[in-house]
A and B are shown apart, each in its own frame.
Chain A
Amino acid sequence: MSPTLLFVLLLLVFLALLLLATRPLGNYIAQVMEGRPNFALKLGGPLEAALYRLCGVDSRRDMPWREYAIALLAFNVLGALIVYALQRLQAYLPLNPQHFAGVSPDSSFNTAVSFVTNTNWQGYAGESTMGYLVQMAGLAVQNFLSAATGIAVAIALVRGFARHNASGIGNFWVDVTRSTLYLLLPLAVVLALALAGAGVIQNLDGYRDATTLEKLTYQNPRTDAAGNPLKDAQGNALTETATTQTQTLPMGPVASQEAIKELGTNGGGFFNANSAHPFENPTPLTNGLELLAMFLISFALTYTFGKLVGDVRQGWVVLASMIILFVPLALLGFEIEQHGNPAITAQGVDAAPSALQAGGNMEGKETRFGIAASTLWTAVCTGTSTGAVNSAHDSLMPLGGFVPLFLMQLGEVAPGGVGTGLYSILMFAILGVFIAGLMIGRTPEYLGKKIESLEMKLASIFILTTPFAVLIGTALGVVTAAGRAGIANPGPHGFSEILYAFTTAANNNGSAFAGLSANTPFYNVATGIAMYVGRFWPIVAALAIAGSLAAKKRVPVTEGTMPTHGPLFIALLIGSILLIGVLTYVPALALGPVVEHFMLGGAAH
């Protein structure tokens, strides 16, 4: 069977399994978020009520959008302060068998913002930095709460469409509690048990030293006191030879963190190698489960959307648009990697797939996954805002690296993070109906709500904030000495590394291109600000739109109303997303992966 056919089959099985779960899970989410009686609310109701009593929350209070937004912001900044404190004080706290010192202030700031914003970008190596208390009480807790925040915003926006003449968009505390208690926690428990059963480790032991059979000699990158890579006069990284016969095996509560890491589209790995590490993702079975977990809730939320606005076709249209955006980019990524590196094949190296080798470009990929499961993962982790990796994105071919970059730059809508994917694509839907309205000369409407000047201003703020943070951040990285100091590969690849860092930060993805020494005060602060702005400014705009829409009356469907449940609207929605993504990022992409692609082609000849 040809590798392409194998990949297509893998993709089809993957999507089919997800589509089977979309309707029942989407229906369930609609029930629990709207408090419609079902078995889960009956079972968890007393606990939920007790939590509200404990926190002094009036669960019946319907919040106007500003109150909802301020509750959300305060809740998240408090979470960031707790994660910051846990890292700084970890040397004095329990559950730190490795006796790790407190994390540096700049890295603590970056990590606190990273996990609160659902980015989970990591400038540090987990196994050599974070004790178990920080991993569990800080990072894993934020994995749940940041995902719950995303779901809350999506549901609040959907209520904006579903309600009319209403002053409120829901209760933030209730939304966060219900999505955590009835959705994320049960799914995470089931997945954690499945992963632990399939070989992912779960313990609180100290690390173990193993003596290897052979002495290992390797090249260690040299760094200065600030952690920046040392370079020669040509700008190439300097290394030194090191030997060892001891391998330290890190331990820890990995399966429990791995489950929510994928389900909540978080992506922060317990270990530095993330899901390429055999203790996080040991087999093709765990790889498959983790892949499904990344898409599961984002797919289901589209059905929830359709259900709550009273027309499930609207949800299927959104989901179809997400899939149509995702599939060609996933295929492109696979084809490029399977094609291999022309500069290497020009030297007579056999890159053809056979029974004995995967062929193509296997640099940076795990042999237990091969090219198909690695490139599918790359597309899935950047199509969502997960950012967990099972291969080294820095080792992708130049256009192979373009795929994850572009998937993020589209605004994380294919299908995007939990909640964020839905509310982001609904912003593009608003833009799409506005463009269509301009073309036919009518006031645009979407789901029975007139889209007027205020909604367009807010949608513009939403859509432009992230590119602003990406492009300004990248420019700062390129023009400042502190930014350039982090580059390990000079030239267009180095530019791609900086572009990727700010793209992943501002889009709250969190995957790393590696190669960039980002655990420095400059990158910790700059990407920290990009993550915060890229997360909360669009959320404020989305909630403002929700408030504005909820207050409007519903306009009746007439012959002049543009239908938004068919193929024409799918084309309009995809067109709007591509238009914004391409116009915004093509110049930057041309300077990075595109130039590198042509340089590689030239080198091969």
Chain B
Amino acid sequence: MTGQTTVQLRQVEKRFGDLVAVRSVNLDVAAGEFFSIIGPSGCGKTTTLRLIAGFERPTGGVIEIVGRDVTDLPPYRRPVNTVFQSYALFPHLDVVENVAFGLREARTPRGELQRRVKDAISLVQLDGRERARPKQLSGGQQQRVALARALVNRPEVLLLDEPLGALDLKLRKEMQTQLKDLQREVGITFVYVTHDQEEAFSMSDRVAVMHQGLLEQVGEPEEVYRRPATPFVADFVGLANRLPGRLHEAASDGRYAVDIDGVGRRLAGGPPGLVAGDRVTVVIRPEDLHLEAAGALRSGVLASTSSVPATVVDVAFLGAHRTVRLTAGSLGQLVAVGRGQVTVSQDDKVSLSWADDDAWVVPAAADS
């Protein structure tokens, strides 16, 4: 995974008039990596992809692909291919001719062209549909044609712009697995854009979280989830309970002591560089909140020192687990995912606790 860099963005910026879509983005994507860019709509992720593809010219910065500066190259001279959200298949050409398009432009010899087209069609399991026009195919099949049409050219990088966005949930899940398998099989670098963090997490080696044109965090899915760099990342990636507080001091082991409003002083992990006195937010994931019926004997196994009283507002049964909504005084609404040890129901008084290792500090959002 730590091979050479395939895609490199240096201080890349893109303005549309007054609007800054992408601001000074630095990015390195390693060869063979499955890299996702996630973020809400309008965050600049699709623009970033279009900059790499060459459909947009950056207003600043440098883009390199396999060590070559491609900033000023048009799309047809870049060693990348794209899978479009709308698929953008050629309606007047059948499956074979759609897939063969890039090879014909590259004047690939006939025999090799036929072999590669055939292989690509087999790879996406469309054998038997070679002569169908795009209109005669289902959404999932069209999506696979788009994939084959791009992969057949053996690009250095495959760019995918919300390729599963138009599919229904079940097919989406299937295609996620297939995409991941496919990427491993062909070994091509994937840069994948989606607004769906779950989708990105399930497939990616690394993800980048983008917000208002800025890269907020780049890292492995677990790292981004467990150790968000900013309040935005904490919120965007999965559910988060956010407890406001003030940083008391940095402990010697890299952790912080935080005075959580209405709770008291607790230890929590956090990014380096936070200063005593800063307003911060302590992030605790719903699955890390432990519930116990109020007044029950403490087992003593949990590392936490004390607990927070709360009242159950609502319990939602979701098959594999239960989601419990709670109110805890000045902390407001919290969410816990019940693992079944404690059966609680509406209006029950419970005590909440968490392990210090499961608490994470981020700087308080500027707007709060």
Q: Are these two chains actual partners, yes or no? A: no
What residues make up the interface of B, taking CB atoms closer than 8 Å to A?
Answer: none
